[in-house]
A and B are shown apart, each in its own frame.
Chain A
Amino acid sequence: MNKELDKIFEQALIELQNGASLEEAVLKCQPEQEHLAENLVLAQKLAQLPKKTVPAPAMRRKYALAPVKTAWYQWLHFSRLATVSMSLALFLSAVAGTGYAAYYSLPGQTLFAVKKTAENLQLQFASSQESKISLQVEFSKKRLLDAEKILKNPDSSPETAQAAVQELKQQTKNTLDAVSAAGKNDLNPQQTKTLVKTLETIATDQEKLAKEVKADSSKDLAANVEASAKVINNYIQVATNELEKSNIKQTQKSSLDDTRVQNQDTASTSPAIDPGEKATTSTSTLKSLNESGSTTTEPEITIDPNAASSGYIPETPEPQYVPSSTQPSNGN
């Protein structure tokens, strides 16, 4: 079959539809008119077959009841995925923005509570006592930096400065509590040494801050900060003593255990550590601190009463502040 026949036939059909007569349409089929004429006649006969009458429809225009579709509406309609993605992106941006703002917030600001919550969550998810201590120490350093920023800023309000000092005190107490608890859980000597050094650094920095604030006579908080630093230093001293004692006992216990193993002795006959000894030592340490004198009466920091049973907390609810001249040596 000639490949062009179908095209010629189609052209002739179009002529017929446009009103040309059969003869005129056939003339369009040259040079295949003889071959295609019968096809055209047959096509015309097919088209002339009587069709069923189609009843006239009622045109109710239901589309008019649909909401008006503007281009913008259609874009939204056909871009649901884009809409959802955009909403999600906005939400994540808001969350990220809040997180960012919270991270750099300072005590006394609204988002500081978010920052504290995030830190508490970090502590909750800390896998070990050691990592908890690391976090607490890190938070202590942050509070120190926060306090520095606020106290050295002449535009800071007294309320904000008070909040910064309070947060600093509280965080330091939390850190020392964590350190003390860890001391009872047998930290190894190397860890103890590192911890003591870190705590000493924190105490030094706090003292330094207190002196700087004190130098600025316009600040009413100077005395408060100085007192805070002293209290913190006292706590650090107590805690470091506890750590050291704990490690000494640990070493003694290890030696005794080794001896027991060597002698094939039973552990139940002679406990390696007298539980009362630790409490006595702790009590005497803090008592010595109390006896060393006090120049301030601020009772803001208290030691966790639950810890009293653990042996290192004195019976008195809180330590007294000592003047810097009589303060026990903390390595500074």
Chain B
Amino acid sequence: MNSSYVYISDNSSFKESLFLENLLIKAKKGETAAFGEIYNLFFKRIYTFIYYRVSHKETAEDMAEEVFLKAYTKLGSIKQAKSLEAWLYQIARNLIIDHYRSKKELVELKEIEQTLSYDDAVLEVLELSHQQKILNELLKELPEDYRQILKMKFFEGLSNEIIAQLTNKSEGAVRVAQFRAITKLKELFEDYDE
């Protein structure tokens, strides 16, 4: 299985939640070292999330740093440790929107939102096998929201909670959409084979 495909089991989720809770309490008290631990835990994930959408190392680094600077100065507004990661992704998402908005003076918000689906920026297309290319092409035939959820879930390994936060949906809606998207993709794949 791909190493970037990170899921957390219920048990480890519980442990991580306790650990994060502790870090968050200390960081809120002004312990920079505790916030440093949070930074170490999430920086690469946030950086990767941004990099896939801006495709530029230095820009992604600056924006990821900005995410944690904002988080550091507004740490008091986060109430629960379990929401911390989703909150960081939300800050990153807003910064990406601002980034594209600053590039174009007049741009539709819908267009910016679609930028977050980043199309093929995440895949190494040249390395795709024949079957994988077909799969990638069939993916483009899916409705936009289905395609976006599948990419976040299986390309980036984001949890349902974070996808829900980024797409303004409930976790249940994300789970149902994910299942329907896979079923639809399977049908397209079967039709293509025939």
Residues of chain A touching chain B, judged by Cβ–Cβ distance below 8 Å, are 5-7, 9-10, 13-14, 16-19, 38-39, 42-55, 57-64, 66, 68-71, 73-75, 77-78
Contacts and interface: CB of A to CB of B under 8 A. Distances in A.
B95 interface: no
A190 B139 CA distance: 101
Contacts of A49: 123, 128, 132, 135-136, 154-155
B127 A50 contact: yes
B44 interface: yes
Contacts of B154: 43, 46-47, 49
Count class of interface residues, chain B: 35 or more
Interface stretch (B16-24, B66-74, B85-93, B106-114): B66-74
A304 B79 CA distance: 74
B157 to A, nearest CB: 8
Interface string B2-29: 1011110110000000000000000011
B155 A42 contact: no
A332 B93 CA distance: 91
B1 A57 contact: no
B176 A6 contact: yes
B191 to A, nearest CB: 14
A268 to B, nearest CB: 80
Interface of B: 1-2, 4-7, 9-10, 28-30, 32, 35-36, 39, 43-44, 47-48, 51-52, 57, 60-61, 64-66, 68-69, 71-77, 121-124, 127-128, 131-132, 135-136, 139, 150, 154-155, 157, 160, 175-176, 178-180, 182-183, 185-186, 189
Contacts of A6: 175-176, 178-180
Nearest to A17: B7
A5 B72 CA distance: 41
Contacts of B32: 64, 68
A62 B68 contact: yes
Contacts of A50: 123-124, 127-128, 132
A62 B65 CA distance: 6
B1 A58 contact: no
A26 to B, nearest CB: 14
A18 B9 contact: yes
A54 B51 contact: yes
Contacts of A45: 131-132, 135
A64 to B, nearest CB: 6
Task: Output the residue of A16, A42, A51 with the most chain B CB within 10 A.
Answer: A51
B135 to A, nearest CB: 6
Task: Decide if the interface of chain B is mainly helix, strand, loop or mixed.
Answer: helix
B73 A69 contact: yes
Contact of B75 (A7, A53, A69, A75): A69
A39 B182 contact: yes
A14 B7 contact: yes
A63 B57 contact: no
Contacts of A77: 73, 76
B29 A57 contact: no
B30 A71 contact: yes
A71 B29 contact: yes
25 contacts: A5-B179, A7-B175, A10-B175, A13-B7, A18-B9, A46-B139, A46-B155, A47-B2, A47-B154, A47-B157, A49-B136, A49-B154, A50-B127, A51-B124, A52-B124, A57-B60, A57-B61, A58-B61, A60-B61, A62-B69, A74-B28, A74-B75, A74-B76, A77-B73, A78-B76
A66 B76 contact: no
B43 A59 contact: yes
A57 to B, nearest CB: 4
A57 B182 contact: no
A201 B179 CA distance: 98
A73 B28 CA distance: 10
A211 B76 CA distance: 72
Contacts of B128: 49-50
Contact of A66 (B7, B73, B136, B178): B73
B189 A42 contact: yes
A120 to B, nearest CB: 51
A57 B179 contact: no
B72 to A, nearest CB: 4
A51 B123 CA distance: 4
B43 to A, nearest CB: 6
Query: Which 8 pairs, one residue from A and one from B, show the smallest C-beta to C-beta distance?
Result: A17-B7, A6-B179, A46-B154, A63-B72, A74-B76, A70-B30, A62-B65, A50-B127
Contacts of B77: 78
Contact of A14 (B9, B64, B123, B135): B9
Nearest to B60: A57
A54 B48 contact: yes
Task: Output the residue of A19, A49, A62, A71 with the most chain B CB within 10 A.
Answer: A49
